Amino acid sequence: YINNILYNILNIYTITYFNNILIYFKNKAEYITYVRIVFERFRDAGLYLNPNKYKFAVKKVKYFSFIIYASIGI
């Protein structure tokens, strides 16, 4: 269902796996724009997100068994 909501931005600046969503960006302006678009998509679909389950603007993230760094990737 998440893939249907984000269908035309998948692999452009979002990656999803089940209910996990990564938004990637090059600068602060892109970050703000992309997060806003993703939130609007969920709102328009009538879905609510739990802000306690999300991390924003991090330099590294553990995604399953991988650690992804902002500057170098996996």
pTM of the model: 0.79
Measure the CA–CA gap between 43 and 60, rounded to whole angstroms. 27
pLDDT at 73 exceeding the cut of 80? no
Summarised one tens digit per residue, pLDDT across range 30-57 is: 989 999 999 999 999 999 888 888 888 8
Residue 61: per-residue pLDDT: 84
Find out whether 42 and 49 touch, Cβ atoms under 8 Å.
Answer: yes
Is the pLDDT at 63 greater than 60? The verdict is yes
Whether 17 has a pLDDT exceeding 90, the answer reads no
